[in-house]
Structure 1
Amino acid sequence: MADTVVSIDKLKAFWHSQVHDEEKWALNMKLLRAAGLFAGSIFLMRNCGDLMAV
């Protein structure tokens, strides 16, 4: 197996690059909103989708 070591410094650098860069942050927020809307709609349809039937 390959030995992959992820240090805390690498994780901090990745987090800093994703959060503090305006363009990446805007894209990440769009992705988070889309994923949240998708998950919320699945949750809603699983719990009370039968009430929406005609």
Structure 2
Amino acid sequence: MADAVDKIKAFLKSQIYDEENWAVNSKVIRAVGLFAGSIVLMRNFGDLMAI
């Protein structure tokens, strides 16, 4: 069990602290945030945007 936790910690550290991995991950996080924000916006204010 502890071995699996160590593997997960090592994976997360490699994704956050490595410059190249973090550059890609930040783009993915930004894209997912924009997508989720647009869904929330359209669900709340979509009827006001209708023509």
TM more than 0.5: yes
> Are 1:39 and 2:36 counterparts?
yes
Q: CA RMSD in A?
A: 1.3
SS of aligned partner of 2:36:
helix
Stretches of structure 1 that go unaligned for 5 or more consecutive residues are none
In structure 2, the residue matched to 1:51 is 48
Answer 1 or 2: which has greater helix percent. Answer: 2
Q: What fraction of aligned residue pairs are identical, expressed as a percent?
A: 64
2:5 alignment partner AA: I
Q: How many residues align?
A: 50
> Which structure 1 residue ranges, 4+ long, deviate > 6 Å from structure 2?
none
TM-score (norm. length: structure 1): 0.84
Of 3, 7, 10, 2:4 maps to 7
TM-score normalised by structure 2 residue count: 0.89
How far 1:45 moved relative to its partner? 0.3
Shift of 1:53: 1.2
